[in-house]
Amino acid sequence: MKVASQDFLQQAHEALRAKDKVERRDLLGQFMPAARDAAANAYGDFDGLRAHMKRVRGHTTEHLAHYLQQFEEAAVAHGNQVHFAATAEQLNSTVLSICQTHNARRVAKGKSMVTEETGLNELLLKAGLEVLETDLGEYIIQQAGEAPSHIVGPAFHKSLAEVRELFLAKHKLGERALESVSDIVEEARGVLRERFLAADVGIIGANALIAEHGTTMLVTNEGNGDLCANLPPVLIICTTFERLLPRAEDAMALQRLLVRSATGQSHTCYTSFYSGPRREDDVDGPLETHIILLDNKRSDILASDYHEILDCIRCGACLNHCPIYIGVGGHAYGWVYPGPMGSVLTPLLTSLEQSHDLPNACTSCGRCAEVCPVNIPLPDLLRDLRQEESAQQLKPARWRRGLRLHAWLLRQPVLYQRLTGWSMSALGLLGKRRGAFRRMPFASGWTSQRDFPAPEAGGTFMRQYAARKRRGGRRG
């Protein structure tokens, strides 16, 4: 997907102007955290579960080569063809090549963020294939020609009315009206059912790779991923190589965390483990299965101080709890992954140059870390990226200089207290009547939205305190 993160501020500005969408996001920001909390409380020791998962993933990434090899051997033994793709282009060309080998015309896709990352659909479309997203949210945005706005609900930004209009334009509805969400879902069910049945190739993602069994885990509520995995004659599973878990039981821990953190449910409808092509005993299923393991900088990230971001299970909780994400929405971030996890991953997968605004779209409030099911220290990783931004001289020079000058001044207490004593007294006097300034030199960022409160008259605390001490008094 094309990167537009460099236009974050402009996109955020546009997003804030669309008041109906702001309202919709505000509701999401109230409803989703409440659902997550209720589910976490009903579970029992949810924090214990999070800590457990962190230990499992820490162990897994510590021995990643071992588990990757174990997975590959088991998957190959089951009859899968396992491919390694170093780059996005390699993944795309591998998929295309498999499709062309089978003279495929129609592709049915389950939800796969990795293929959004690599821009797979565009390549397949250019090569003349029909590509149909089957996850309802993905289908809606595909029809609308839009990017996903949320990693769990890609079409959350669309109202019922907008979806209805979209279906009116794109489907042959005849006399039927689509009044409710149920009607919409019913309509999509009918249209997409035909496509599952007609698909030559099914492409899905994987929530996890189970090393001990060589199986891939697929978690959905809709069942569309499972239809892609059971009906077409060829199945391609696209994921990244580090999505490994050692045991099936670890997948169960993952499932418990994922669904509660994502939607506040206690389970998902369909949790499936696929091992490969048809066995002798099977009467349905793909005749050929391919697992494509993508790197695309994950191995760089693994070797870096940011490796914990690879534990992300794509639950979206950090998005739902982030006041900046709720404020501006997913499209402002300009790429596949928005919100706090996106603000870490996007600079690492694209470049800091293109996306350095994203780690700055953060107040370090810590709400994301509070709810991350795998305890990723998101605020710390974001701060580290801001540090890199400075080191790479991407931060606007006046900010960098100003902050460093300020930090230097802080270590010259006598000079600092003299300068501030003088300036605050002056400002305090000037602002005494009204109490605040509409404009302030060097502070246009502040005053564009707020008045600048006047300092209390009488000078700084340190000056007043020193004066009182000299006079012999102890307190004010």
Of 293-352, binders to other proteins (CB under 8 A) are 295, 299, 302-303, 323-324, 327-328
CB of 140 to other proteins, least distance (A): 7
| Position among 116, 133, 135, 308 found at the interface with other proteins (CB under 8 A) | 135
Q: Which is nearer to other proteins, 128 or 472 (CB)?
A: 472
Of 16-24, 124-132, 200-208, 343-351: span binding other proteins (CB under 8 A): 16-24
- Position 180, amino acid: S
Q: Is 462 in the site for other proteins (CB under 8 A)?
A: yes
Give CA separation, 362 vs 341, 378, 454, in Å. 11, 10, 27
Residue 56 structure tokens: 């499992």
Q: Is 279 in the site for other proteins (CB under 8 A)?
A: yes
| Position among 179, 186, 305, 353 found at the interface with other proteins (CB under 8 A) | 186
| Position among 36, 213, 290, 331 found at the interface with other proteins (CB under 8 A) | 213
CB of 155 to other proteins, least distance (A): 6
- Position 231, amino acid: L
CB of 122 to other proteins, least distance (A): 22
CB of 350 to other proteins, least distance (A): 19
CB of 69 to other proteins, least distance (A): 7
Q: Is 142 in the site for other proteins (CB under 8 A)?
A: no
Task: Give the number of residues in contact with other proteins, rule: CB under 8 A.
Answer: 171
> What mask, x for binding other proteins by CB under 8 A, covers residues 249 to 268?
x--xx-xx------x--xxx
| Position among 128, 145, 175, 407 found at the interface with other proteins (CB under 8 A) | 407
Q: Is 410 in the site for other proteins (CB under 8 A)?
A: yes
User: How many of the other CB atoms lie within 10 Å of CB of 472?
Assistant: 6
CA 79 from chain centre, in angstroms, equals 33
User: CB-hemisphere CA count at 13 Å for 192?
Assistant: 28
> Exposed, middle or buried by CB within 10 Å (0-12, 13-18, 19+), for 327?
middle
Q: Which of the residues 32 through 71 are near other proteins (CB under 8 A)?
A: 32, 42-45, 48-49, 52-53, 55-56, 59, 62-66, 68-69
Of 114-122, 150-158, 310-318, 347-355: span binding other proteins (CB under 8 A): 150-158
The residues pairing with 238 across neighbouring beta strands, listed in sequence order, are: 292
Q: Is 435 in the site for other proteins (CB under 8 A)?
A: yes
| Position among 103, 281, 441, 470 found at the interface with other proteins (CB under 8 A) | 281
Q: Is 458 in the site for other proteins (CB under 8 A)?
A: yes
| Position among 105, 176, 193, 439 found at the interface with other proteins (CB under 8 A) | 193
Q: Is 19 in the site for other proteins (CB under 8 A)?
A: no
Residue 48 structure tokens: 């214990």
CB of 129 to other proteins, least distance (A): 21
Give the strand pairing for 106-109 and 244-245. Answer: unpaired
Q: Which is nearer to other proteins, 119 or 428 (CB)?
A: 428
- In sequence order, which residues have a C-beta less than 8 Å from that of residue 84 and are 6 or more positions away? 241, 292, 293, 295
Give CA separation, 366 vs 25, 228, 332, 363, in Å. 20, 39, 21, 8
Q: Is 470 in the site for other proteins (CB under 8 A)?
A: no
CB of 200 to other proteins, least distance (A): 17
Q: Which is nearer to other proteins, 127 or 409 (CB)?
A: 409
Task: For tokens 């009903």, name the residue.
Answer: 42
Q: Is 100 in the site for other proteins (CB under 8 A)?
A: no
| Position among 47, 282, 305, 353 found at the interface with other proteins (CB under 8 A) | 282
